[in-house]
A and B are shown apart, each in its own frame.
Chain A
Amino acid sequence: MHTQTLALDRLDQPGARQWPRYVLTGLAIFIIGLFLLLPLAAVLIEAFSEGWDLYVQAINDRYTWEAIKLTLLVAAVVVPLNTVFGIAAAWMIARFQFTGRGALTTLIDLPFSISPVIAGLIFVLVFGAHGWFGSWFAEQGFPIIFAVPGIILATLFVTVPFVARELIPLMQEQGSEEEEAAIALGAGSWTMFRKITLPKIKWGLLYGIILCNARAMGEFGAVSVVSGHIRGQTNTLPLHVEILYNEYNFTAAFAVASLLAGLAILTLVLKSLVEWQQARSLERATQ
């Protein structure tokens, strides 16, 4: 990169002041270490502070297993739905001109700027006992609030933008010439999507899915409002961490938290790999 060689050139000059570089680099490493690496390490250290046996015992608890199962179920429903939505929304916004395009983009962004607690609140207002449709669903024997459907709805809301936000700028930048050529040459819609669109967007799509999954499994505020915290029934992993922590069962809380920290580390690793692949395929395309 040009800026970097320039910075290096300047350092080679005799008499160039080097101290800003060392001070700033030191400061940056200090901030990253203190604010990011230390908390991550502390989760693991606290989790194992009472030894391996207690760690295993905390994980191997019936309620922890129920929480893991529920968290996986929520992600298994939420991520595919938001992926389909993200592809549809990106196709609509990046490939067509229509009135209200800007407003639609803003609407997709909205869940990002709304507090997760509000996300939970609105579903309580629609489906809660005093809500619009709450009593009807309850009468059908299918309660939504303080039940699994509410958790899924609230998680869907907070993760709506992830895939779409990743794909819209990517597809806008790529342009539609190749897809238009495929259609002009007589390809069907599905063939065009499978052979042209999907290969072009696959890394961006994967990136969005990884981030969507991390948020879906880790969401706390929105889920906390609609869940009712019923152990073994409506308790996701993050909520289970809260319950254990509030019971002063710190080792168990950190043991369960370490599972989620592991998920975060895995997310960062996968994300870096995808970024790397994306940069490589971009390089190949421009060569």
Chain B
Amino acid sequence: MKRSFSILPGFRLASGITLFYLSLLVLIPLCALVWKTTELSLDELVATLTNSRVLASFRVSILTALAAALINLFLGFVIAWVLVRYPMPFKRLFDAVIDLPFALPTAVAGIVLAALYAPDGWIGSFFTELGIRIAYTPLGIVVALMFIGLPFVVRTVEPVLQDLDSQLEEAAQSLGASPWTIFRRVLFPPLIPALLTGFALAFARGLGEYGSVIFIAGNMPMVSEIVPLLIITKLEQYDYAGATAIGLMMLVVAFIMLLVINMLQAWTRKRTGKL
């Protein structure tokens, strides 16, 4: 590995630990996934991935993650806006509790959301009267993914909103712009990269989420079965080839999302002038 000269010690030790650890724990196991897929013939791979149940699970996962991320884009923006710009009682408490979905084990989130949104649950019974079933339908998956994804949008938009240059806003105000015009033409445009980053993070997390979803989803094949659950089902049936093929597909999607997120983050830094 080529590096420029530095007086600081420890490069060999630090790089030794880092590369050894990452190879053993991340690189080699991921290679195993790719390697095992190459053991399948192309026909088998195509047959596995175009199976109607597999396609349906991808449709469910993508659509629910997309819906949840879109709703979170709006809700997360409102929360970030209020937390940064308005005085409000118990602000520190509200701010701290935003990270609850990061801290609460997903299985706990899963069972409590299922209990709340079940037809006889506190929230579910209210919707039952309106004739809407949430738990054990794709709507339940969206609810779980909304819970999981909310902090991503809030936490990416918050710092950018905090650092907005207030001089522009003051200038627009003194030139007689209405609050709505100020929001639309001055405040909102610099937030777009951060909003998209938050959206992409929430979407990527939603695609892979397992623990919080399976309790509320109902897990009906073709209707409310998500891709991660299908992988586990295949493993339990000793269909390692099928699980591997679907797993590789998800890995490719995760790579693409990571690339998109990196690009969006670079764009955010450029727009906000922060390194």
Of the listed stretches A57-65, A114-122, A198-206, A277-285, name the one at the interface; the rest are far from the partner chain.
A114-122
Bound together, the chains give a CA A110 to CA B208 distance in angstroms of 13
| Residue among A39, A183, A219, A239 with the highest chain B CB neighbour number at 10 A | A39
Q: Evaluate contact between B210 and A115: CB separation under 8 angstroms.
A: yes
A208 interface residue, CB < 8 Å from B?
A: no
Q: Evaluate contact between A214 and B103: CB separation under 8 angstroms.
A: yes
Q: Evaluate contact between B99 and A242: CB separation under 8 angstroms.
A: no
Question: Chain A residues with Cβ under 8 A from B29's Cβ?
Answer: 122-123, 125-126, 157
Smallest beta-carbon distance A138→chain B, Å: 16
Contact of A241 with B108 at beta-carbon distance under 8 Å, contacts A122-B29, A184-B7 already known: yes
Q: Evaluate contact between A46 and B112: CB separation under 8 angstroms.
A: yes
Question: Chain A residues with Cβ under 8 A from B170's Cβ?
Answer: 6
Bound together, the chains give a CA A38 to CA B1 distance in angstroms of 52
Partner of B105, one of A24, A122, A238, A271: A238
Of the listed stretches B11-19, B44-52, B188-196, name the one at the interface; the rest are far from the partner chain.
B11-19
Smallest beta-carbon distance A38→chain B, Å: 7
Question: What are the interface flags for A16-43 relative to B under an 8 Å C-beta threshold, 1 for contact and 0 otherwise?
Answer: 0100110011011101101111111011
B interface bracket (residues with beta carbon within 8 Å of A): 35 or more
Q: Evaluate contact between A221 and B78: CB separation under 8 angstroms.
A: no
A111 interface residue, CB < 8 Å from B?
A: yes
Query: In chain A between 83 and 105, which residues have their CB closer than 8 angstroms to a CB of chain B?
Result: 84-85, 88-89, 91-92, 95-100, 104
Smallest beta-carbon distance B15→chain A, Å: 5
Q: Evaluate contact between B2 and A99: CB separation under 8 angstroms.
A: yes
Q: Evaluate contact between A24 and B82: CB separation under 8 angstroms.
A: yes
| Residue among A98, A115, A184, A237 with the highest chain B CB neighbour number at 10 A | A115
B63 interface residue, CB < 8 Å from A?
A: no
Q: Evaluate contact between A121 and B8: CB separation under 8 angstroms.
A: no
| Residue among A28, A123, A241, A263 with the highest chain B CB neighbour number at 10 A | A28
Question: What are the interface flags for A65-85 relative to B under an 8 Å C-beta threshold, 1 for contact and 0 otherwise?
Answer: 000000000000000000011
Q: Evaluate contact between A160 and B3: CB separation under 8 angstroms.
A: no
Smallest beta-carbon distance B22→chain A, Å: 6
The dominant DSSP class at the A interface is helix
Bound together, the chains give a CA A111 to CA B255 distance in angstroms of 10
Question: What are the interface flags for B100-115 relative to A under an 8 Å C-beta threshold, 1 for contact and 0 otherwise?
Answer: 1111111111011101
A interface bracket (residues with beta carbon within 8 Å of B): 35 or more
Question: Chain A residues with Cβ under 8 A from B228's Cβ?
Answer: 115-118, 221
Q: Which residues of A contact B (CB under 8 A)?
A: 1-4, 6-8, 10, 17, 20-21, 24-25, 27-29, 31-32, 34-40, 42-43, 46, 84-85, 88-89, 91-92, 95-100, 104, 106-111, 113-118, 121-126, 128, 130-132, 153, 156-157, 160, 176, 179-180, 183-184, 189, 192-193, 211, 214, 217-221, 224-225, 237-239, 241-242, 245, 250, 253-254, 257, 260-261, 263-265, 267-269, 271-272
A-B contact pairs, 30 of them (CB 8 A): A3-B166, A29-B88, A36-B97, A36-B150, A38-B116, A38-B123, A42-B112, A42-B115, A92-B15, A96-B11, A98-B3, A111-B26, A113-B208, A113-B254, A114-B254, A115-B228, A117-B210, A117-B228, A118-B208, A125-B29, A219-B105, A221-B228, A224-B232, A238-B106, A241-B107, A241-B108, A241-B111, A245-B111, A264-B103, A268-B97
Q: Which residues of B contact A (CB under 8 A)?
A: 1-4, 6-11, 13-15, 17-18, 21-22, 25-30, 32-33, 36, 75, 78-79, 81-88, 92, 94, 96-109, 111-113, 115-116, 122-123, 146-147, 150, 161-162, 164, 166, 169-170, 173, 179, 204-205, 207-211, 215, 227-229, 231-232, 235, 240, 243-244, 247, 250-251, 254-255, 257-258, 261-262
Report, nearest first, the 7 A-B pairs whose CB atoms are least far apart. Answer: A115-B208, A218-B105, A98-B3, A220-B211, A221-B210, A122-B29, A117-B228
